[in-house]
Each structure stands twice: as C-alpha cells, then as structure tokens.
Structure 1
C-alpha cells in the first residue's frame, strides 16, 4: 500500500477510535451522573453530541475509504475498512432513527420504559471499536 495513504488512513483511524472511545464510553454514561442532569437534559445533550460525533465519523469514514482505495490497499486493509463503514452505516441508518424517535417522545413528556435500542447501538459501537483497532494496526503494518 502507498505509504502516504497508509499513514493518512492510519492516523485518521486512530483519531476516530479515540473519539468513539471518549464520547461513547466516557462522556455518554458520565453525563447522567452529573448533579442536576435530568433524563430530558441528558437526552438533549446526548443527541447534540452524537449528532456531531456521527457527522465527524462520516467525514472520517469517507476520507479513510478514499485513502485506502487510492493507496492500493491489500485485502487485509480493505476488509476492516468495509467492516467499519458497514457498522457506522448500520448505526446511522438503522439504530439512530429509532433512538431519535424514542428520545422525541421522552422529550415530549412521555414516560417510556428503558430502551433496547441503546443496547443495539452499544453493541455496534463495541464492534466498531474492535474493527477500528484492527484497521489501525493493519494500516501500521501496510
């Protein structure tokens, strides 16, 4: 693989991994433990933060995919790249719309039971973390 493309894709992959770990596994659960943060306030903050994170993730995904495609990457790089892209797409196209509809209802004052949609999002997030780590390590060796 072209060294410049591998370096760019690798740097962006590790940046992306750090963002996902810090937002999804640190900020998201901690915000609900802060004094005075109610469920509606936490949901409002979460929607804003995850909308921004997902927008940045989409840009990073496009740039990584282009760098991998232009760099003549081997199958060992293409596989994890595709996996990360598919996982992000599943989150954005399938799970996030369900969570957004539910949070709209909660913010409108409905009293709803705990969401299983969050479990799907977390499961996909865990898989994405593994795929990003694998992609980053593979790019370091490329």
Structure 2
C-alpha cells in the first residue's frame, strides 16, 4: 500500500505542476485564444484536475492510514489535502462566479480569489514534495 501512496503523491504533484503552472498560463498565449475561450478551457481542465486530485488524495490518505508514514509524511499529506479542500470549497466557487461574469461580458479588476488559489497551489506543491519524500523514506 505504501508504494501506491508514494506513486499517487508524485502523480498528484506532477498533475498540479503540469496544469497549474504550465497549461494554465500558456493557454492564454496561444494564437486565437481569447480570454473567454481560455476561461472556458480553464474551467473544464481545473474541474477535471480537481476530480483527479480528490481521487489521488483518497489514495494517499488510505496509504498513510494503512501505516508506515512518519509524522512528517502525515503532516505533509494533511496540509496538501487541506489546501485542496480549501481550493474546492472556498476558492473555486468565487473563481466560477468571476469567470461567469467575464464570460457574460463584464469587465473589471482581476479576482483576488485567483491569487489565493495560486498561493494555495504553491503550498500544496511544497506539501506534496515533502509528503512524497517522507513516504518514500518511511518505506525504506
């Protein structure tokens, strides 16, 4: 079970890095991608990412619960799971409301929720790196 937890942690980390820090900013630089198209794509991609993240988080939590993880591993997994929960429950709804407004043609300042989401992503990435290495060390 520990191997599954380690693998799920690093897959989760890779998905977050690839989507949040590569795909998300780059799609707006593609020729012909307007803000509205980019937001529409982003909503679909992040919805799918969050579903995958929840499944991976469950796998990691079950692996940690099954035993063998040290205190650092447990704490790091807890931080990653809490960051994901806050993103899904508190921040994504605000981002969805703002993107609904933009898609309807409203102008205005950028959402502060976006900055919060990115900050939570950074914390989650750090927690996943720590969790992955802690889980791997405890499996040795």
Pairwise TM-score range, normalised by the shorter structure = over 0.9
- Contact 2:64–2:74, Cα closer than 8 Å, also in 1: yes
2:54 aligned residue (42, 52, 58): 58
Alignment partners' CA distance in 2, 1:66 and 1:102: 35
Number of aligned residues: 138
TM-score, normalising length: structure 1: 0.94
Match of 2:130 among 121, 131, 134: 134
What do the CA deviations read for 1:63-112 (whole angstroms, capped 9, x no partner)? 11011101243322211111111010011011101000110111111112
Query: Any conservation in 1 of the 2:28–2:35 contact (CA below 8 Å)?
Result: yes
C-alpha distance in 2 between matches for 1:83 and 1:113: 30
Q: TM-score, normalised by structure 2?
A: 0.95
Aligned twin of 2:80: 84
The residue number in structure 2 matching 1:27 is 23
Q: Which whole-Å CA distance do the structure 2 matches of 1:73 and 1:141 have between them? A: 9
Contact 2:70 2:135 in 1 (8 A): no
Cα RMSD after superposing both structures: 0.9
Q: Does 1:108 align with 2:104?
A: yes
Point out where structure 2 has 5 or more consecutive residues left out of the alignment: none
**Bigger relative CO (Cα 8 Å, ≥ 6 apart):** 1
C-alpha deviation, 1:38, in angstroms: 0.5
Once residues 69 and 26 of structure 2 are traced to their aligned partners in structure 1, the CA distance between those partners, rounded to angstroms, is: 39
